[in-house]
Each structure stands twice: as C-alpha cells, then as structure tokens.
A = this chain, B = another copy of it.
Amino acid sequence: MLAVALQEARDGLAEGGIPIGAALFGPDGELLGRGRNRRVQDGDPSAHGETSAFRAAGRLRGYGRTTMVTTLSPCWFCSGLVRQFGIGHVVIGEARTFHGGHEWLATHGVRVTLLDDPECAALMREFIAARPELWYEDIGR
C-alpha cells in the first residue's frame, strides 16, 4: 500500500510540487482514493497528501475500517482529519523529517503503523534541503 502513496509523492516532485503522497484503502485493501500534496500545482494550501486522498475517495459513510497510508507523519490538519472521520488505521512512511500528530492519534484509539521507510525519508530530506521555503510554507512556519 505504501507503494501507491510513494508513487503519488514522486509524481508530485516531478510536477515541481511537494513530494508527499497518500492513499485511502477499504477493509479488503481496495483503493478508495489516492492523492498528493498540490499546493504548488493547484495553488491550494488545503491540498495535503491525506486531504487529497480523502477527497478523491468521495462521500463515504463510516471510515472505521479504512486505512490511510501516507508517506509522511500527518500534520495537525491531516491528523485532525483522521480523528474527526474515525479512520481506523494510519500507516506512515516515515516520521524522521517531520513529526506530526500520529502519537496524539494513537492516544485517541487510532491504530498507527510507523514504517520508517528509507525511500520516503530520503525523498523528503532532499526536498527540504532543496526547497526549504516551500516546505515551511506548507506546514505554516
């Protein structure tokens, strides 16, 4: 499942965007929606990886048995999304380059799987080094 999110991140980088990707899967592993950060591409500061994947999945009832897979630890905005809609499981590529709200989610009953994937970490580390102003814009700093 991480491969889908990672491909989204790579596609975003190729477009000149911020390389964070995500995908929402259903109870049987079926892909419900996938997306990537589109701040640069669409001029949309609300289009984070997770919000894009959630949006792409359309209107659903009951997220308890869904899994959100993201290349990077979810920021507070995306952590809030997971908590509000009761997404049952979050799979995170890495939390080395950015430490978001995943521990907060775990304390609120969300199952959290942190993969510590070296490809995800390298992608963000290189991006942050190359485009720090864009990265800090994206997380509101």
Contact = CB atoms under 8 A, between A and B. Distances in A.
A92 to B, nearest CB: 16
A131 interface: no
Number of copies: 2
A61 B43 CA distance: 13
Contacts of A139: 84
B80 A59 contact: no
Given A61-B137, A75-B84, A46 B51 contact: yes
Interface in A105-141: 137, 139-141
Interface string A15-41: 000000000000000000000000100
Given A76-B84, A83-B76, A55 B46 contact: yes
Interface of A: 39, 43-46, 51, 54-55, 57-61, 63, 75-81, 83-86, 101, 137, 139-141
